[in-house]
Amino acid sequence: MDLRPAAADLLAVFDREMREHARPDGPGVRVERTADVVRQVGSADDWNGVVWSAPDLDAARADAAIAAQVAHCAAHGYGSFEWKLYAHDRPADLGDRLRAAGFVPEEPETLLVAPVAELATDVTLPDGVRLLTVRDEAGAALMSRVHERAFGDDGERLRRQLVARLREDPEHIVAVVALADGEPVSSARMELYPGTGFAGLWGGGTVEEWRGRGLYRALVAFRARIAAARGFRYLQVDATENSRPILQRLGFTALGTTTPYVYRPSA
């Protein structure tokens, strides 16, 4: 996609701060750098994968880098390993090369970024709904329940990740649940990346019967307010087609698409 100059500049900042110079996104993980890729590695419950590849990557170097990630995955016994491919990454056929090596593409998402100062931070909730900031295992269990009902996925891995993060690194994560008469109906989290100027919005989900009532928008505003108070300049989202239009109406700019390419040794 062709970007206006301001958006192109914003994408360059994102590539530099969040990808090329990526920091570990939680305790127990580390970032490894080679000449051609940057990857994050940790335990089986952590996100393991490539976040950046060199912009001048050619065919031969791309194939070598892909083979090295497959070998890395096998050596560490990961059940899965992701190469996070952005539409502007090179070479142009990098996705085809990943598929040829056994990586399977999942649904593409839209990379959206907004300056925090330009976002609304007033939280408006439907009658009977209150927000609970998640700080313990009980709150993590509530988020897990929302995840299962909203997305139809097993929420156990999310629960374990949240409990570990809240215990080991509570300053860099914000998790929130919306409760209607005590029942969890929507939830979301925000990852804070010190030194980058960016905070990431993740996991926003609402159970079906509560969609269309402004909860998603309220949780964005809630997190934007916290990001502003802590001095972060930008919010970033990898958005599905369900959330992309809402976020663009709130002031986020689409900078391109990103597609998870996942390698599973047993597949």
Read off the DSSP letter of residue 45. Answer: T
Give the Cα separation of 209 and 180 in Å (integer).
11
The model's pLDDT over 104-124, given as tens digits with 9 standing for 90+, comes to 999 999 999 999 999 999 999
Per-residue pLDDT, 255 = 96
Judge contact between 45 and 161, C-beta under 8 A. Answer: yes
Q: Identify residue 233 by its one-letter amino acid code.
A: R
pLDDT tens digits for range 159-199: 998 998 999 999 999 999 999 999 999 999 999 999 999 99
pLDDT of residue 5: 67
Ramachandran angles phi, psi of 241, nearest 5°: -70, -20
Name which of 67, 61, 104 is nearest 82 in CA terms: 104
Q: What is the pLDDT of residue 154?
A: 87
Q: Phi and psi of 209, rounded to 5°? A: -70, -10
Nearest to 219 by CA among 148, 150, 153: 150
Answer for the pair 261, 104: CB distance below 8 angstroms, yes or no: yes
- Is residue 263 within 8 A of residue 103, CB to CB? The reply is yes
Q: How far is CA 132 from the centre of its chain?
A: 22
Helices within the chain (DSSP H only): 5-14, 59-76, 94-100, 137-151, 156-168, 215-229, 244-250
Coil, helix or strand at residue 38: strand
Cβ contacts of 49 within 8 Å, gap of 6 or more: 39, 40, 81, 82, 83, 84, 260
Domains, the chain: 5-110+258-263 (3.40.630), 120-250 (3.40.630.30)
The DSSP element (H or E) to which 263 belongs, if any, is strand 253-263
Mode of pairing for the β-strands spanning 234-239 and 109-115: antiparallel
User: For 37, left (φ over 0), alpha (ψ -120 to 50), or beta?
Assistant: beta
Gap between the Cα atoms of 237 and 255, Å rounded: 10
What is the structure's pLDDT at 28? 84
Q: What is the pLDDT of residue 101?
A: 97
How big, in percent rounded to 5, are the helix, strand and coil portions of the chain?
35, 30, 35
User: Over 80: is that where the pLDDT of 126 sits?
Assistant: yes
